[in-house]
DNA sequence: TTGTACGCGTTATCAT
DNA sequence: ATGATAACGCGTACAA
């Protein structure tokens, strides 16, 4: 257990001053004689020297690190998102501190404090919806904030990357309406969130296009957290006039909802045609494979990273940007025409 | 975009010296008059002061941070593991830097360097199997290393937390043998890994108990990375005398393997009884629900964290510990007696 | 081209 | 109980 060598050790054994070593490490900061450069590099390798991040950070004032504040790593969607972002970031030489909120505002606040302490230059997050002041404070301290998937409308000045929510929900709904379904359940996120509202709006818009009125009973806005999806499924199917179609538009609740459907032994698409928002690797391994709105996770990752990094380098216009990427509808066998469902 | 206040700012506006503020922050470092303490706390709150992690780290020499080097966040097993570890760690007031290797030794080496730069006190990892010298170097620099799920036998002095691999594999195999199956395929990890070897050993041991000789053709050790699982499934089922049972004992390859089974339209358990190592949330949503060896992820997380933290505080005996937790076998409907399979 | 010296924000030591 | 002040390791003007 010996202690790591410092820049001074390197300088000493290489017979030069610390500034020379520093310049070898950061070439753009000044010239250095080829001969000495070689010598220094050799010593660095011999000693296994590595600059300490903390010291550098303290000196330069910032760190090539961003924070990633994600709702729940146990959910395939967020896990994959994290995976892609971490991957992409590495390519740009920036580290990522991954934190999870479990949809809890307090944990979220905690995470933000931690990220502040570590003076990250930017944060990519799927916000819980609370902590508005805290987010604002982050911004005022120069931390670039990018929201992905969801957003907080009350907060101005943040970049947002998400899928085209209204359109995606409309398309999913129209697909079922087109199959003849009249009563379509919708499990969305909280109406307090942009995502929740947009998807409900798309759902309604589709109904208008088909001149069908929507039964408010069929729309369930459930929290991201907990087992709201499963419960909503239960109560929707317990309705006297139960729906023949179901759209799970709350990504965080897809697992919970599908689990309940399977537990209840619901015949899909016999009794119920279903579409879920989020095409994770297991969606097509269920029986039957589930039709899904595929969130292009790569695009979400690439764009959000591009935005934070761009801002950190000041290479972007001041105005906050909103990027909406297209989400494909992936039809599979969990949807069937209403008339062909003999059960009802 | 104003700059964050420092300890000096606090001291100044509170009319005290920085030492007092520091002592308020770290109570065990010395006494402070109640009156002043109050004043300082108030100012801290007003200014929204937070100590900078980098400065503290530089001063004390280490940081309450551990690294988590995980193979692939897109895989539910690792994602959940990460989730639990991050969660547990927060409870202990330690931050976690999550990194992914994508099973690539180079990326792994990279991650280790990064963690070194940030002078983490410990690392929890699912090692790729390479970088033996690098891991050793980490240790020699005082970084506590704990391997979870897998290990590298060539490396001494590391703590290991894993499931009881031999026994679990034996139990799974005996379950199928007990159902009358004579030819059971095994998809394991590389024989270069402890996990791969142990599970193969359990598989063989079970056969011995049943006095059945194992056909080497039925054992496929595939890399953690890539689509080896799917390919193995394909070639196993293409065998002239194809197996009637299959155990996927390579956690990283479960997705790939199951996907191939579904794509090939294999009738389960009609044509093939299957058991997978890793009970993720979707395992029971497939058709039929898959029998699985359930890795107690919480236990893995708790123990590995306990070990790193314990070592960091020097509260543990020097000898490296190996913790093997029990893994339940969860029988579901993907296994059936051989005689009842009419197809064959 | 190279070296010296100071600052970054915090903790810790030692007087007071 | 409090206050100077020296580290901690690195970057960087500035001088040589």
Cβ distance B4 to A116 less than 8 Å, yes or no, reads yes
Which residue's structure tokens are 């409308």? A153
CA A117, CA B48: separation in Å to the nearest integer? 12
The Å distance, CA of B29 to C1' of D1, is 13
Q: Closest chain A residue to B68 measured between Cα atoms?
A: A98
| Residue B341 pLDDT | 46
Using the structure, give the distance in angstroms from the CA atom of B33 to the C1' atom of C6, rounded to a whole number: 34
Q: Can you tell me the distance from the alpha carbon of A65 to that of A143, in angstroms, rounded to the nearest whole number?
A: 11
Q: Tell me the sheet residues that pair with B98.
A: B68
Q: Which of B87, B110, B85 is nearest to B99 (CA)?
A: B110
What is the pLDDT, as a whole number, of residue A106? 94
The length of chain B in residues reads: 344
Query: Is-contact B334 B284, C-beta < 8 A?
Result: no
Which is nearest to B274 in space by CA: B179, B163, B167? B179
Nucleotide nearest to B5 (CA to C1'): C9
Under the banding of pLDDT at 50, 70 and 90, the label for residue B344 is very low
3-state SS class at B160:
strand
Identify the residue whose tokens are 């964050």: B4
Give the tens place of pLDDT for each residue, B17-33. 999 999 999 999 999 99
Q: Which of A57, A63, A281 sits opposite B255 (nearest CB)?
A: A281
**Amino acid A1: pLDDT:** 67
- Mean pLDDT value of segment B315-337: 95
Output the CA–CA distances (angstroms, integers) from residue A33 to A10, A16, A21, A37, A58, in the order listed: 16, 11, 11, 6, 28
As a whole number of angstroms, the distance between CA B138 and CA B124 comes to 12
Question: d(Cα A257, Cα A224) in Å, to the nearest integer?
Answer: 12
pLDDT at A281: 87
Using the beta-carbon criterion (under 8 Å), do A1 and B281 form an inter-chain contact? no
- Mean pLDDT calculated for residue range B36-43: 96
Q: Give the least confident one: B2-6, B71-75, B231-235.
A: B2-6
E strand or H helix at B65, and its extent?
A: strand B63-70
Q: Specify the 3-state DSSP secondary structure of B136.
A: helix
Tokens for B179, please give them.
């159902």
pLDDT, residue A194, reads 86
A284 neighbors A290 (Cβ within 8 angstroms): yes
Q: What is the pLDDT of residues A239-249, one digit of tens each?
A: 999 999 999 99
Helices (H), A210-265: 228-237, 254-263
Q: Is the pLDDT of residue B340 over 70?
A: no
A147-168 pLDDT tens trace? 999 999 899 999 999 999 999 9
Name the pairing type of β-strands B245-248 and B184-188: parallel
What are the strands, taking DSSP E only, across B178-336? 184-188, 219-221, 245-248, 273-277, 291-294, 322-325, 328-330
Give A115→chain B minimum CA distance, Å: 9
Contact: A58, B63; criterion CB under 8 Å: no
The answer on pLDDT for B339 being more than 80 is no
For residue A68, the distance in angstroms to the closest alpha carbon of chain B comes to 10
> Mind listing the pLDDT tens digit for each residue in A110-148?
999 999 999 999 999 999 989 999 999 999 999 999 999
- Report residue A193's pLDDT band, with 50, 70 and 90 as the boundaries: confident
Is the peptide bond prior to B269 cis by the omega test (within 30 degrees of 0)? Answer: yes
Q: Which residues pair with B120 in a beta bridge?
A: B63
Chain Cα centroid distance, residue A105: 16
Bridge partners (DSSP) listed for residue B14:
none
Query: Does B52 contact A119 at a Cβ distance shorter than 8 Å?
Result: yes
Strand C footprint nucleotides (protein C-beta < 7 Å): 1-5, 7-14
Question: From the CA atom positions of chain A, what is the Rg in Å?
Answer: 25
pLDDT, tens digit, 9 for 90 and up, residues B140-155? 999 999 999 999 989 9
* Nearest beta carbon to residue A286 from set B48, B259, B286: B286
Q: Residue A144 in contact with residue A123, Cβ under 8 Å? A: yes
- Report d(CA B325, CA B304) in Å as an integer: 11
Protein footprint of strand C, defined by Cβ closer than 7 Å to any strand atom: A 16-20, 23, 30-33, 35-36, 55, 58-59, 61; B 3, 6-8, 18-19, 22, 25-26, 29-30, 49-52, 55-56, 58-60
Give me the residue from B83, B110, B141 closest to A100, CB to CB.
Answer: B83
Name the closest nucleotide to A23, judged by C1' and CA: D11
Length of chain A: 344
Identify which of A190, A195, A142, A137 has the alpha carbon closest to the alpha carbon of residue A164. A195
B104, B111 Cβ separation under 8 angstroms: no
pLDDT at B71: 93
Q: How far is CA B35 from CA A241, B24, B256, in A?
A: 68, 11, 64
Nearest-CB residue to B142 (from A1, A72, A90) = A1
Q: What are phi and psi of B315, to 5 degrees?
A: -90, 10
Nearest Cα to Cα of residue B291 among B151, B201, B174: B174
Please tell me the distance from the alpha carbon of residue A29 to that of residue A22, in angstroms, as a whole number: 8
| Arithmetic mean of pLDDT over chain A | 94
* Predicted local distance difference test score (pLDDT) of residue A192: 85
Q: In this complex, do B119 and A53 lie within 8 Å of one another by their Cβ atoms?
A: yes
Rg (CA), chain B: 25
Helix, strand and coil content of chain B, in percent to the nearest 5, comes to: 45, 15, 35
Nearest-angstrom CA–CA distance, A22 and A59? 13
Q: How many angstroms is C1' of D1 away from CA of B310? A: 35
Interface touch A4/B116, C-beta < 8 Å: yes
Pairing of strands A291-294, A328-330: antiparallel
Q: Residue B153: helix, strand or coil by DSSP?
A: coil
Q: Which bases of strand D have any atom within 7 Å of the beta carbon of a protein residue?
A: 1-5, 7-14
Minimum distance, in Å, between the CA of residue B11 and any CA atom of chain A = 19
């Amino acid at each position: 257990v010996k202690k790591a060598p410092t820049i001074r050790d390197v300088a000493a054994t290489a017979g030069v001053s610390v500034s020379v070593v520093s310049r070898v490490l950061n070439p753009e900061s000044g010239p250095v004689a080829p001969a000495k450069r070689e010598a220094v590099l050799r010593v660095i390798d011999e000693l296994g020297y590595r600059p300490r991040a903390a010291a550098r950070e303290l000196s330069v004032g910032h760190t090539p690190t961003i924070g990633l504040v994600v709702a729940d790593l146990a959910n395939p969607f967020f896990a994959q998102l994290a995976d892609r972002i971490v991957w992409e970031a590495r390519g740009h030489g920036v580290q990522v501190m991954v934190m999870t909120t479990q949809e809890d505002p307090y944990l979220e606040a905690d995470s933000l404090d931690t990220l502040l302490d570590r003076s990250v230059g930017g944060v990519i997050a799927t916000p819980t919806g609370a902590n508005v002041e805290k987010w604002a404070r982050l911004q005022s301290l120069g931390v670039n904030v990018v929201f992905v998937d969801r957003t907080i409308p009350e907060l101005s000045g943040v970049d947002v990357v998400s899928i085209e929510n209204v359109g995606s929900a409309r398309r999913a709904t129209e697909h079922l309406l087109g199959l003849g379904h009249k009563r379509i359940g919708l499990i969305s996120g909280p109406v307090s969130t942009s995502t929740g509202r947009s998807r409900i709006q798309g759902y309604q818009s589709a109904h208008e296009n088909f001149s069908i009125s929507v039964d408010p009973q069929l729309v369930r806005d459930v929290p991201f957290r907990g087992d709201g999806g499963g419960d909503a499924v239960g109560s929707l199917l317990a309705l006297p006039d139960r729906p023949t179609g179901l759209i799970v538009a709350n990504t965080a609740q897809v697992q919970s909802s599908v689990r309940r459907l399977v537990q209840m032994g619901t015949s899909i698409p016999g009794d119920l045609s279903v579409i879920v928002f989020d095409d994770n690797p297991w969606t097509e391994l269920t029986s039957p494979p589930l039709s899904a709105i595929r969130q292009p996770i790569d695009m979400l990752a690439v764009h959000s990273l591009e935005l934070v990094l761009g801002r950190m380098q000041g290479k972007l216009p001041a105005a906050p940007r909103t990027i909406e990427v297209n989400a494909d509808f992936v039809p599979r066998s969990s949807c069937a025409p209403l008339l062909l469902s003999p059960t009802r």
